[in-house]
């Protein structure tokens, strides 16, 4: 296990490199003094992404859109929910909406997650570019969160705002604050006047101006809005059905001061609004005297737990032991008069107590409905109640508890990334405090409770918190934090996957993918093989068995049965978060075991789903990232789901600022450099005194050029040979061919003593190929090299195409298509344009097409013979072309003759038709 990071060090391995892509080495933040040695179990290491400068190309173009968004978005909007939860001024900021805000889905129960994503994006952007604007924004957010935690650690404090003629006290919506009055405040009066100046800021029904009662049977209250949206006063000793009430006639205006007064005497009650009587009831027999001594005497809070807390300001509350006359009530609009039972002017500007001017000394106290945090390290944008309720839940209900530890993960991750990018002690202190708080809660729970919690769909989702907590432990070295990481073990899943038992059918995909990256980090920290085995086997259960061609997985967020792909295609396939987390898992697995399949997957998902999930349009307000990518025919991508603040927009912001995190890796012993992805970039390998510049327009260019500069020295350059590179992979150094046979799905090694200016040229011709869905071979998706091609067509049924008509001897299907002039990677076939999936447009697309080859055609020569098929759907043409590539036309014709003879012998093709097929193949002209 590696030693902990000391102060002022960067975590070179898992943390910074995973979080931060480089982009501009000349201006990137300077490295700090020391780095943490990576886990001993890693045989391959990433580079800190400040050492990788992004060159021009598709990645730079996409990233620029996100960097512009990061520069311009008002971070106070994200901080609004945190400040509100702590009862602090929100600076007039409006939460972004969607999942972020009190009015978000499921009561805003996921609010705060997006702030963590945004911090990570800013941290990656700063490490990539060195632009001070990103560091400044990080400092603003970390400073605000520091103030929020400090406020949560203390009793609620008065938030003083401008009143009608002085100061008033505001209860920010989302603070869950109310004023607690002493018992006996009503004095058992048989006649009474209650009056208050209020400025409501939200139109929630049933939020109380005041509520005095024992429970939901004996009380009197005044609400600013009843179910009809107008003020209502009621008093009862027999619950809601026995209320004696007064209803107003018009809604109170928001953000304006209104005066409310209620008088009761002699069986008559009157409700006044701004000095004018708006309702009367001559059958009000109940008075405060009938209620007796009440336990709960509240301003702003209801005895009905489901009612909202009053959001707005108070500028006076008075109670008199008599019914004021109409003229006296009217006079209260201009003259301050002190109530004899209680009188609060709300002129306080600090602390949490409110003075009573009646002479009775009934000092009131500002409180939170949920009390306060169980530990001083607590930090969230909502009360701790979600975490508490989760501990007793037996079934999922996201309207009550929606993945609180998932949200905690995002905040913790953002703080760690902020610390690593800017060395801000406050960020680390906040992160460490969160770890301490979570440990204080979870370590007290029985193991059975933890297993039940983590097995709950949605409510028990905890995202990548295990990875983040392991990173926190690596930085700070607290034993409690490593112990905390292990408290998230979901043993049923770990044990099943470690035993290679596929239990994924029916599971929520993104609830489970990121936890395996965390378990790999636990393997690094503990050496327990079950974590590594589980993660490795889990990956194999997804790729390819639950993977769509673009690299995505899940349908409507869930996994279905193994090898069912065509049968799960819908409008809600391929959740973008799933691709993000599968990339992280693939990358981390590769650090342990250099199986090129992990990087083949990485390239597939990065160049297709991840790039394609970001719209190619600038927007200051939204990140414009898909949630789902529907793969149904004619689907149009939605880049602004749920107002743009879902988990997928969050991970999309992160993806777009770390595109280069896996372009280069180095061997742990420094003896080799892996070039994993072909992307315009410059690597600064400081230990070697070397820079490697990769110049390419890949994938618009079918190859790349690497130039080595700096000190001379020996190391092996290991060039990834993609599994799709079956049309040839050639390497030259300074113009001379390098011997050896590159094998698709492996690495090709160039070992030499490198000198200043050495140039390596890699050529990797693309082929157009298809990938068949596992459960329906006729449903296929098209690839040109690494690029998924989608048909742009508004039809809503699968398009039908034949692709063998002019296939090349190499097996390349591209000759059947017509290139579009001036548009790289664009082709047409039968009037439909095919374009790269990574283009973020709003065109209706077809990611899958129906393969139909009705007749045997070679080199555009139609034999007129129907293309026969076996019971499993394999056609004669399929079997012929399975033998590609062919060295010559003669070799192809020989293959055709062999296949035809076999099919004739099996009774699948008539002898005369067989002769015609062979003759057609012999007479056709082929592209090489």
Evaluate if residue 615 carries a pLDDT over 60. Answer: yes
Evaluate if residue 14 carries a pLDDT over 60. Answer: no
- SS3 of residue 19 by DSSP: helix
Residue 350 CB partners (closer than 8 Å, separation 6+): 157, 158, 160
Question: Is residue 874 in some structural domain?
Answer: yes
Residue-level pLDDT at 643: 83
Centre a 10 Å sphere on the Cβ of residue 569 and count the other Cβ atoms it contains.
Answer: 22
* Mean per-residue pLDDT over the chain, rounded: 94
Question: Residue 424 CA to chain centroid, in angstroms?
Answer: 24
Sheet of strand 703-710, all strands in order from the earlier edge strand to the far edge:
52-54, 681-685, 690-695, 703-710, 758-763, 730-733, 736-737
Question: Residue 183 CA to chain centroid, in angstroms?
Answer: 48
Q: What is the CATH number of the domain that holds 677?
A: 2.60.40
What percentage of the chain's residues is helix, strand, coil (to nearest 5)? Answer: 30, 25, 45
Evaluate if residue 10 carries a pLDDT over 90. Answer: no
Mean pLDDT (whole number) for 733-761 = 97
Does one domain contain both 739 and 868? no
Does one domain contain both 217 and 339? yes
Centre a 10 Å sphere on the Cβ of residue 208 and count the other Cβ atoms it contains.
Answer: 23
Does one domain contain both 211 and 345? yes
Question: Is residue 833 in some structural domain?
Answer: no
From 763, 791, 813, the end of a domain falls on 763
Residue-level pLDDT at 17: 41
Question: Is residue 490 in some structural domain?
Answer: no
Mean pLDDT (whole number) for 393-412 = 96
- How far is it, in rounded angstroms, from Cα 679 to Cα 55? 8
The predicted-structure confidence for 545-594, as pLDDT tens digits, reads as follows 999 999 999 999 999 999 999 999 999 999 999 999 999 999 999 999 99
Does one domain contain both 186 and 334? yes
DSSP designation for 381: S
Does one domain contain both 198 and 315? yes
Does one domain contain both 351 and 242? yes
Question: Is residue 75 in some structural domain?
Answer: no
Does one domain contain both 759 and 891? no
From 368, 385, 408, the end of a domain falls on 368
Question: Is residue 281 in some structural domain?
Answer: yes
365 token code pair? 């106290």
Residue 570 CB partners (closer than 8 Å, separation 6+): 555, 556, 630, 631, 632
Mean pLDDT (whole number) for 599-618 = 98
- How far is it, in rounded angstroms, from Cα 594 to Cα 674? 10
Nearest to 180 by CA among 155, 152, 216: 155
pLDDT classification of 37: cutoffs 50, 70, 90: low
Domain that holds residue 199: 177-368
Nearest to 260 by CA among 305, 307, 184, 207: 207
**CA dihedral over 529, 530, 535, 539, signed as positive or negative:** positive
Q: What is the CATH number of the domain that holds 320?
A: 2.60.120.200
Residue-level pLDDT at 21: 30
Mean pLDDT (whole number) for 427-450 = 98
- How far is it, in rounded angstroms, from Cα 94 to Cα 108? 14
| CA distances to 469, 501, 507 from 492, in Å | 21, 11, 13
Evaluate if residue 28 carries a pLDDT over 70. Answer: no
| Mean pLDDT lowest among 29-38, 274-283, 454-463 | 29-38
Evaluate if residue 540 carries a pLDDT over 50. Answer: yes
Total domain count for the chain? 3
Question: Is residue 195 in some structural domain?
Answer: yes
Residue-level pLDDT at 5: 37
From 368, 384, 414, the end of a domain falls on 368
- How far is it, in rounded angstroms, from Cα 706 to Cα 531? 37
Question: Is residue 799 in some structural domain?
Answer: no
Evaluate if residue 222 carries a pLDDT over 50. Answer: yes
- How far is it, in rounded angstroms, from Cα 430 to Cα 149? 8
Question: Is residue 326 in some structural domain?
Answer: yes
Residue-level pLDDT at 40: 86
Rg, the chain, Cα only: 34
SS (H, E, C) 832-877: EEEEECCCCCCCCEECCEEECCCEEEECCEEEEEECCECCCCCEHH
Nearest to 81 by CA among 141, 30, 155, 139: 141
Q: Which residue has the tokens 């044990």?
A: 495
Percent of residues, the chain, with pLDDT higher than 90: 93
- How far is it, in rounded angstroms, from Cα 521 to Cα 38? 11
């Amino acid at each position: 296990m590696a030693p902990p990071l000391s102060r002022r060090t960067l975590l070179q391995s898992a943390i910074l490199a995973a979080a931060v892509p480089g982009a501009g080495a000349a201006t990137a933040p300077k490295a700090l003094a020391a780095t943490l040695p990576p886990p001993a179990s890693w045989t391959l290491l990433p580079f800190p992404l400040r050492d990788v400068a992004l060159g021009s190309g598709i990645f730079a173009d996409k990233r620029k859109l996100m960097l512009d968004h990061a520069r311009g978005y008002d971070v106070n909007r994200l901080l609004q929910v945190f400040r509100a939860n702590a009862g602090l001024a929100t600076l007039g900021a409006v939460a972004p909406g969607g999942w972020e805000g009190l009015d978000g889905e499921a009561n805003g129960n996921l609010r705060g997650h997006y702030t963590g994503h945004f911090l990570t994006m800013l941290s990656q952007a700063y490490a990539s570019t060195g632009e001070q604007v990103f560091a400044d924004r990080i400092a603003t957010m970390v400073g605000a969160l520091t103030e929020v935690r400090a406020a949560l650690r203390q009793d609620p404090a008065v938030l003083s705002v401008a009143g009608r003629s002085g100061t008033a006290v505001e209860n920010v919506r989302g603070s869950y604050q109310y004023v607690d009055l002493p018992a006996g405040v009503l004095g058992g009066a048989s006649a009474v006047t209650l009056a208050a100046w209020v400025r409501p800021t939200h139109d929630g029904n049933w939020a109380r101006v005041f509520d005095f009662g024992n429970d939901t049977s004996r009380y009197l209250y005044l609400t600013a809005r009843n179910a009809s949206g107008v003020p209502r006063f009621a008093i009862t000793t027999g619950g809601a059905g026995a209320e004696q009430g007064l209803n107003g006639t018009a809604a109170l205006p928001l953000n304006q001061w209104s005066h409310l007064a209620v008088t009761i005497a002699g069986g008559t009650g009157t409700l006044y609004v701004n000095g004018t009587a708006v309702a009367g009831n001559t059958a009000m027999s109940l008075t405060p005297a009938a209620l007796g001594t009440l336990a709960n005497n509240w301003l702003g809070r209801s005895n009905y737990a489901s009612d909202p807390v009053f959001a707005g300001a108070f500028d006076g509350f008075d109670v008199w032991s008599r019914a004021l006359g109409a003229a006296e009530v009217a006079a209260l609009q201009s003259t301050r008069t002190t109530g004899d039972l209680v009188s609060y002017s709300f002129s306080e500007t600090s602390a949490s107590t409110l003075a009573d001017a009646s002479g009775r000394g009934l000092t009131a106290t500002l409180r939170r409905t949920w009390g306060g945090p169980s530990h001083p390290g607590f930090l969230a944008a909502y009360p701790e109640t979600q975490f508490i309720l989760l501990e007793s839940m037996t079934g999922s209900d996201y309207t009550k508890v929606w993945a609180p530890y998932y949200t905690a993960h995002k905040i913790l991750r953002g703080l760690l990334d902020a610390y690593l990018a800017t060395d801000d002690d406050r960020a680390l202190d906040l992160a460490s405090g969160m770890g301490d708080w979570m440990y204080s809660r979870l370590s007290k729970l029985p193991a059975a409770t933890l297993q039940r919690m983590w097995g709950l769909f949605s409510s028990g989702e905890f995202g990548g918190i295990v990875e983040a907590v392991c990173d926190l432990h690596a930085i700070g070295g607290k034993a409690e934090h490593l112990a905390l990481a292990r408290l998230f073990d979901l043993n049923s899943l770990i044990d099943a996957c470690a035993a290679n038992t596929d239990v994924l059918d029916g599971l929520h995909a993104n609830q489970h993918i990121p936890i395996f990256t965390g378990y790999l980090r636990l393997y690094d920290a503990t050496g327990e093989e079950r974590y590594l085995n589980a993660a490795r086997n889990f990956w194999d259960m997804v790729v390819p068995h639950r993977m769509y061609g673009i690299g995505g997985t899940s349908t409507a967020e869930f996994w279905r049965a193994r090898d069912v792909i065509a049968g799960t295609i819908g409008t809600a396939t391929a959740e973008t978060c799933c691709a993000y987390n599968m990339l992280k898992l693939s990358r981390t697995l590769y650090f342990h075991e250099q199986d090129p399949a992990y990087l083949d997957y990485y390239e597939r998902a990065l160049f297709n789903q991840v790039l394609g999930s970001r719209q190619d349009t600038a927007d200051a307000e939204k990140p414009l990232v898909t949630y789902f990518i529907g793969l149904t025919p004619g689907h149009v991508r939605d880049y602004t789901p749920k107002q743009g603040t879902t988990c997928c927009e969050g991970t999309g912001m992160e993806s777009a600022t770390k595109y280069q995190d896996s372009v280069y890796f180095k061997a742990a012993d420094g003896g080799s450099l892996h070039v994993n992805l072909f992307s315009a970039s410059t690597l600064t390998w400081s230990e070697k005194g070397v820079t490697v510049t990769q110049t390419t327009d890949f994938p618009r260019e079918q190859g790349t050029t690497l130039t080595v500069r700096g000190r001379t020295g020996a190391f092996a350059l290991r060039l990834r040979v993609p599994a799709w590179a079956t049309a040839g992979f050639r390497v030259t150094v300074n113009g001379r061919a390098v011997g050896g046979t590159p094998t698709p799905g492996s690495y090709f090694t160039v070992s030499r003593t490198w000198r200043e200016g050495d140039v390596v040229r890699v050529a990797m011709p693309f082929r157009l190929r298809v990938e068949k869905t596992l459960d329906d071979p006729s449903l296929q998706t098209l690839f040109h090299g690494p690029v998924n091609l989608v048909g742009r067509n508004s039809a809503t049924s699968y398009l039908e195409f034949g692709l063998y008509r002019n296939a090349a001897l190499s097996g390349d299907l591209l000759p059947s298509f017509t290139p579009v002039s001036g548009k790289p990677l664009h082709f047409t076939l039968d009037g439909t344009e095919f374009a790269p999936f990574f283009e973020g447009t709003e065109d209706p697309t077809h990611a899958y097409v129906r393969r139909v080859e009705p007749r045997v055609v070679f080199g555009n020569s139609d034999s007129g013979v129907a293309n026969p098929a076996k019971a499993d759907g394999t056609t004669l043409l399929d079997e012929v072309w399975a033998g590609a590539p062919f060295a010559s036309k003669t070799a192809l014709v020989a293959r055709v003759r062999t296949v035809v003879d076999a099919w004739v012998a099996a009774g699948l093709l008539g002898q005369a038709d067989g002769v015609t097929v062979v003759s057609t193949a012999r007479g056709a002209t082929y592209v090489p």
